[in-house]
Structure 1
Amino acid sequence: MGLAIGGFHRSGTSSVTQHLAQSGLNPGTNLIGANEYNRYGHFEDWPPVTFHDEVLAAAGLDWASVTYNDIPLVERDREFIRGYCAEREANAPVWGFKDPRVCQFLGHWMDVVPSLKALIVYRSPAECSWSLYRRSVREVVQGTDRNQTSARFLTEPDHALALWVTHNEKLLEVARRFPERTIVVGHASFAAGRNLASEVRDRLGLDLEPADVADTFDAKAVTRAVAPLPVMNWELASAAGDIWDEFESLDTAGKGNFGHAAAQFSDDPTGLILTNALLTLQIGETRKLVDREFNHNKEKAAIKVARKLKRWPFSLFFSRSDKYRSLIDEILK
């Protein structure tokens, strides 16, 4: 009995998979480890992650690309899906895999393997977007932005929300096509104590021994209180609201803690509100960088940080913000 766990990036699928793993689900044998963004681990098996990255690359895309189109598979891709599921089935009585990239491909997986079940996790578009913005700012500040992916979130208007919409539209399509093989759950209800292992056992037939959510979920590891998300393109906000409402209509727990998703947004036709919010995040992350560097070698750190602040994207804010110029003055002193 296999379970595919799908949810947009930063939707809490790691915590959900951790709970299911504690309840007897085998999430894979070659898992991505923990980092500062997922302190307990990602619970993602490398083979599906690598497979999805390769299919995206073949289409000229990556995990952060906005596309409303279906991404086609070739026969070699379908062979991978069949082989991966057969191997997992042979080695574990109750198994699953989790990867946010599967949002783009879950329908293909369900078509190729008729016995596969799906758990779809949705989370507030504002929460997901702010989480992506915070991570992107941190990577840009720390100089770890691979392939300028994080820079896209900071320079392309509404990029995080557009990704949320496109990924979750495709998950909704799966829920509509395969209602008997799919459970839709809001992460907010899981964080409030909803035992998903019990639902997966009772509704999808996986042989799990449900663990107590309080023993497997650290609420402090998930940010909840967020400001409204500034949005330039209000059509995206409306689309997100419609998706949110349909998710809640499919979720047996009913409405979550957020009401209609449109309430999570604020109108930002010029983009200046979001720009200022990202500037504030960058100043905070830069202060952390300065503190860390100064703990090692104060003189070298001052030179290193000053050079970094003269380059993009810092140079942009240096020219526009008194706060940023003041910060630089502090560092150079």
Structure 2
Amino acid sequence: MDVVKTSKDSQSQPIIITGMHRSGTSLTASILQRAGINIGRELLGPGIGNIKGHFEDVDFWKLHQEILVSQGVSPEGWTTHSKISVPQQFLSKARALRDQRMEQTGLWGWKEPRTTLFLDFWDELIPEAKYIFVYRSPWEVVDSLFTRGDVAFTQNPGLAIGVWIAYNTGILDFYKQNFSRAVLIHIDNLKGKAPNFLSAIQEKLQLKDVLLEEEIFDSKLVHREASTDHRPALIAQFYPKAIEILDALNAIADLPAHLDPNRASARLHIDWALQDWAITRRAMTSKQQTQTELQQTQTELQQTQTELQQTQTELQQTQTELQQTQTELQQTQTELQQTQTQLHYEQELVTAMESSKFWKIRQVWKRAKSMIGLDDD
């Protein structure tokens, strides 16, 4: 392993923030950024489900995606494996990224959910790193993933639970082995005015430079609808491994979940299954109706476009006729101008003739000849 510049040498303390997707890592990173931790210069911006921004360091984000793709995993990190091997070809890039960040002083770090899959790799590269892990109840994460509409989960809904299990298994195993330099919190502890989260970081990780805040975040940004229905019982019955991991996380977390202990153990009632059936059918009917309306709108749009094209053709024809009429008018005006010029010339000629003496004598002679009866040859 190469020599690592430690915090003692550079007064630089790396902080790694991670957790399963949709678990509150973006919210955590935003809080830590305001508390004085530099989480990167170029961050991934807002998107679906993250209106405030993802707060992900783009360089780490790109590196993790490249590694995942090289191992046949989707760039999003949808995998049921808790650890992903890092090929040798990416080691130099990771080292360069680490060395560049270690040049800065003070508290710095990055947030990226996919980091969860590479914890051992980064811990070997940055042995003095400290970790902040965020977890969330599986039914809330699954609900958030379904709401966001990722194709992977639309085609295979069970994958969402599998990914949650993989990520949180990795967090649980790593946290047990590195308890003294990591903080494990449930997303519930990020809300309200009491800064328990930042206090825990200050005390356990000995990060005295972290600034405490009065107000942490707007609880409306975190949706909890899935915790108020039958989803916890559904997961408990069909995915007991997820509940086992959740219980293990709550048992050792520095700030565990504020859960109803009977929520996941509630008996799954048949009416809930029928309710989901009814909701699904309503959604399908609504979708079919929407598609019919869309098709009708497209037909009307096509008809309107045809009429518009016909109108444009008629307008073009009218413009051609108008141009032709204007040409004829211009020609007529030219001919009229020529006629007026000729008439003016002839009038001037007559005036000149009438004013000449010869013309006057000729007129007297013509009258005289007429009086004596002579013909005008």
Q: Which residue of 1 aligns with 2:323?
A: none
Matched, 1:88 2:101: yes
Alpha-carbon distance in 1 for matches of 2:281, 2:56? 32
Tell me the SS of whatever aligns to 1:66.
coil
Shift of 1:56: 0.7
Of residues 39, 42, 56, the one that matches 1:27 is 39
Tell me the SS of whatever aligns to 2:131.
strand
Post-superposition CA distance 1:278-304 (Å, at most 9, x none)? 66667789999999x9xxxx9459769
Q: Which residue of 2 aligns with 1:206?
A: 207
Residue type at the aligned position of 1:198: S
Task: Say if 2:18 and 2:115, in contact at 8 Å, map to a contact too.
Answer: yes
Task: Say if 1:244 and 1:261, in contact at 8 Å, map to a contact too.
Answer: no
| Deviates further, 32-41 or 165-174 | 32-41
Alpha-carbon distance in 2 for matches of 1:56, 1:108? 13
Q: Which residue of 2 aligns with 1:113?
A: 126
Query: Share of identical aligned residues, percent?
Result: 24
Alpha-carbon distance in 1 for matches of 2:181, 2:93? 21
Q: Which residue of 1 aligns with 2:197?
A: 196
Alpha-carbon distance in 1 for matches of 2:15, 2:267? 33
- 1:122-141 correspondence runs (5 A): 122-136=135-149
Shift of 1:85: 2.5
Alpha-carbon distance in 1 for matches of 2:301, 2:236? 43
Task: Say if 2:233 and 2:263, in contact at 8 Å, map to a contact too.
Answer: no
Q: Which residue of 2 aligns with 1:99?
A: 112
Alpha-carbon distance in 2 for matches of 1:205, 1:302? 67
Q: 1:261 to 1:20 in 2, by over 3 A?
A: farther
CA RMSD of aligned residues (A): 3.5
Residue type at the aligned position of 1:212: E
Tell me the SS of whatever aligns to 1:206.
coil
Task: Say if 1:20 and 1:196, in contact at 8 Å, map to a contact too.
Answer: no
Q: Which residue of 2 aligns with 1:245?
A: 247
Tell me the SS of whatever aligns to 1:94.
strand
Unaligned 5+ segments in structure 2 are 1-12, 303-377
| Deviates further, 4-13 or 89-98 | 89-98
Post-superposition CA distance 1:75-109 (Å, at most 9, x none)? 34333333322222212411111111111112221
- 1:254-269 correspondence runs (5 A): 254-259=256-261, 262-263=264-265, 266=268
Post-superposition CA distance 1:141-182 (Å, at most 9, x none)? xxxxxxxxx222122142211111111111111102211221
Task: Say if 1:124 and 1:258, in contact at 8 Å, map to a contact too.
Answer: no
Residue type at the aligned position of 1:104: L
Residue type at the aligned position of 1:171: I
Tell me the SS of whatever aligns to 2:225.
coil
Matched, 1:218 2:215: no
Task: Say if 1:26 and 1:92, in contact at 8 Å, map to a contact too.
Answer: no
Alpha-carbon distance in 2 for matches of 1:187, 1:26? 21
Alpha-carbon distance in 1 for matches of 2:292, 2:35? 43
Post-superposition CA distance 1:6-61 (Å, at most 9, x none)? 11111011111111111001111110111241111111011111111111101111
Q: Which residue of 2 aligns with 1:50?
A: 62
Query: Using CA pairs below 8 Å that are at least 6 residues apart, which structure has the higher relative contact order?
Result: 1
Q: Which residue of 2 aligns with 1:158?
A: 158
Task: Say if 2:232 and 2:264, in contact at 8 Å, map to a contact too.
Answer: no
Q: 1:161 to 1:30 in 2, by over 3 A?
A: same
Shift of 1:208: 2.9
Q: 1:288 to 1:256 in 2, by over 3 A?
A: farther
Shift of 1:112: 2.0
Q: 1:110 to 1:156 in 2, by over 3 A?
A: same
Task: Say if 2:42 and 2:57, in contact at 8 Å, map to a contact too.
Answer: yes
Unaligned 5+ segments in structure 1 are 137-149, 305-333
Tell me the SS of whatever aligns to 1:28.
coil
Tell me the SS of whatever aligns to 1:120.
strand
Alpha-carbon distance in 2 for matches of 1:282, 1:114? 52
Alpha-carbon distance in 2 for matches of 1:284, 1:211? 48
Alpha-carbon distance in 2 for matches of 1:283, 1:224? 27
| Deviates further, 178-187 or 256-265 | 256-265
| Deviates further, 16-25 or 250-259 | 250-259
Question: What is the TM-score when the length of structure 2 is the normalising length?
Answer: 0.65
